[in-house]
Chain A
Amino acid sequence: MKRVRVIPVLGINKGRLVKTVKFDRPAYIGDPLMAIKIFNDKEVDELIICDIRASRESRDPDYNMLQDMASECFMPIGYFGGIRKLEQARKIFDLGIEKVGLSSAFCENPQLVSELAGNYGSQSVVVVLDFNKGIFGGQQLTAFSGTKKFKRTPSEAARMAEDAGAGEIVVQNISYEGTFKGYDIDLVHAVASAVRIPVVALGGASGISDFSKAIKAGASAVAASSQFVYNKNDTRSILISYPSQEQLKKELYASL
C-alpha cells in the first residue's frame, strides 16, 4: 500500500484563522489554536500554517502564536509567510517547527533557499510556487500574495527551486484557490515532471477524488484548505474535518 501525505493548510491573518477565495476576501473562520488542537486530535499527516499577508505587509512571523501552536502539535509542521532572512527561519526551527516555506523570498532572492538548505538541510526548505494567468496567456509565477509577477514558466520555476536546494515544492494556481473545482492538474504535472524532489499540489481540491488525480499527475503529496474547514464544502458552515485512516486507505491509497 502506498501512503501519500494529505496536508491541511491553515491561513492566518493577524492572529485569526481565515479562508480566502483566489487569494482574496479573507473570511473569518475562528481561533487558530483551537483549529490546530482539533487537527492534532484527528491525527493529520502534517500541517501547513500560512500567514497569508506577512510578506505583502512586510510583517515578521508571529513567533508567540507559532510557539503556542507547536506545543499543541505532534505531527510535522510547515510555516509559510514573511520569511526573508536566515535568522527568522532559525527562530521558527527552534520552536519545534521543522519546515519553512518561501514564496516571495524565493522569487526575489533564491540564494536564501540555498543558505537554508546548507544550514538546516533540504528537508527543512519548501519553495511555494503560486501561479496565475499571464496577460498574454500561459502561467505566470507570482509572489507577495499574487500581487507581483515574475517571468518564469512552471517548469523553469520548479527547476530553479530544485537547483537552489529546496527539499519540496508546493504548487498552486491562484485562480483555483477556494473554488472546489479540483487542482490545476496540468500545472501539477508540469511542475512534478520537471523535478525529482517531491511536489505537493494545492488549490481547488473538493475531496479525495481530487487528491487521487493530483497524485496520478505526479504529485507526491496533496494539500487543501477549504474542504477541511467548511462543512460539506458549504462556505456558510464552518466545520473542521479530516478523513479517517480507514477512509484514506479505502478511497485514496487503494486508488493509487
Chain B
Amino acid sequence: MSIVILDYGLGNLASIKNMLRKAGAQSIISADPAIIAGAAKLILPGVGHFEAGMENIRNSGWLDLVNQKVLVDKIPVLGICLGMQLMAGHSEEGDVSGLGWFDARIVKFRQEEIGSLKVPHMGWNEITLKQSHPLFPDIHEEQRFYFVHSYHWVCNTEADQLAVTNYGYDFTSVVAKDNIVGMQFHPEKSHRFGLAVMQRFVQWGQE
C-alpha cells in the first residue's frame, strides 16, 4: 500500500516524489490501473491548461477507478495546483466540466479588481485558514507557499473553504471535504511549510 502520484502527462511529478521522500514516504508515479488500484493514498498533480488536463484524464484509462477510490472507498487524496482545480465542477479555462468532486467553479483572476498586479500570480504568498484540518492543525500559524496560476477556485459551498489567500482580493487557496484536500500552491516547492503539509498528508488517517 503506497502513495500513488497520478500521471496524466501534465505537471512536475518528480518534485512531488522528492518532497514525499523528504517527508519519509515512498511513492510511485503511475498511470497504470493495476498500481492505482492498490494505492492507499492518491495525489492529483498538474500544471497547465484545464481543458488539456481533463482531456488527458478522460483518455487515461483510470478515471472510473479513481472516482471509485475517492468517492466510494474514500481514500485520502490531495490535489495540487491544476490538480486541485480539476476537482471542481466547471472551469472558465476552456469552458469545460471538471471531475465534479466539489461544488465549485474555476475562474480567471479579475484584472479590473487586482489593478496593477500581474497574472499569473507567481511567487510566495500567505494563507489565512478559516477552519483547522488534519493537514493544517494550527489556524494561527504564519505559513507561506509558492503559487503559480492564472485561474482560481470559487466555492459554491462555503463549508469546503479551508483557507484564502490575498492577491488583489481574497481567493480560495485550500479546500477540503471528507477525504479530499486541494491546494492551489505547490507544497513540494515550499520549503519547510510544504514539507510539514506533506508529512501530515503522509500521516493522515494513520493515527
Contact = CB atoms under 8 A, between A and B. Distances in A.
A98 B191 contact: no
B171 to A, nearest CB: 16
A75 B191 contact: yes
Given A5-B123, A70-B18, A43 B189 contact: no
A168 to B, nearest CB: 8
A70 B118 CA distance: 28
A93 B188 contact: no
Interface string A64-88: 0000001100111000000000000
Interface residues of B, number: 28
Interface residues of A, number: 29
Given A120-B48, A121-B47, A220-B118, A4 B15 contact: no
Nearest to A168: B122
Interface in B178-195: 186, 188-192, 194-195
Contacts of A3: 123-125, 144
B112 to A, nearest CB: 14
Nearest to B117: A2
A45 interface: yes
B198 to A, nearest CB: 10
A17 B192 CA distance: 26
Given A45-B123, A70-B18, A121-B47, 7 more contacts: A46-B146, A70-B14, A74-B188, A74-B194, A75-B191, A123-B120, A220-B122
Interface of B: 12, 14-15, 17-19, 21-22, 47-49, 118, 120, 122-125, 144, 146, 148, 186, 188-192, 194-195
